[in-house]
Amino acid sequence: MMNPPHFDAVTPVYDALSRLVFGRRLEQAQTIWLPQIQDSASVLVLGGGTGALLGPLLDRQPGRLLFLEASRQMLARASLRLIREHLTGQVTFQHGTEQDLTPTDQFDVIILPFVLDVFTESTVRERMLPALLSALRPGGSLLITDFVRTDRRWQRTLLQVMIWFFRLTANIETRRLVNWQSLLSETRLSRAGQRPQVWGMVSAEWWR
């Protein structure tokens, strides 16, 4: 079994690299479907990295917010962001993955910001989606922002370079971008909204 991804080594330069290549487009793409979150909703953010989503998300006044992140360095930066940006709201920061969720962990909304793209199809289908669907309440929403396959050569090249960079630095599983949209269509969820972002390289989607 392959060791899990570890982004600790790239944490100090992660945000700078993202903004160098994409500006703030990746951060903005993650906020597209946040207005669908009702006040006092129970929300899980899986793999939220350094917490760029925290400010816009806390503006929605969730009742419970669990920030679950596999990198301890990313988690530390996300928690410091609350202080640095004077954010208000109750957030539980927890080190771990979807496999650390318990049967009592139930959420109205689960947010996956650029998470599925680091895993293989088998991992997403057999491990991640079953765990996440078990934690999603009936009528709940899955908000996903992630890279998608594209026909443009320069975009395919850029995505492949990114995959190989993170294979070397963060030990990510995948060798090619997973078709996560197809995998989601195999579940009990249905897509309620979709908006292309970042020149069509990213899709921001709302599944229910």
pLDDT digits (tens, 9 = 90+) for 13-72: 999 999 999 999 999 999 999 999 998 999 999 999 999 999 999 999 899 999 999 999
Selection from 143, 116, 137, 111 nearest residue 127 by Cα: 116
Does residue 195 sit in helix, strand or coil?
A: strand
Query: Domain 8-207 adopts which CATH fold?
Result: Rossmann fold (3.40.50)
What's the first-to-final CA gap in the chain, in angstroms? 32
* Enclosing H/E stretch for 176: none
Question: CA-CA-CA-CA torsion for 107, 129, 185, 141, nearest 10 degrees?
Answer: 10
Selection from 122, 36, 178, 59 nearest residue 130 by Cα: 122
Domain range summary for the chain, segments of one domain joined by +: 8-207
**What are the tens digits of pLDDT across the range 158-195?**
999 999 999 999 999 999 999 999 999 999 999 999 99
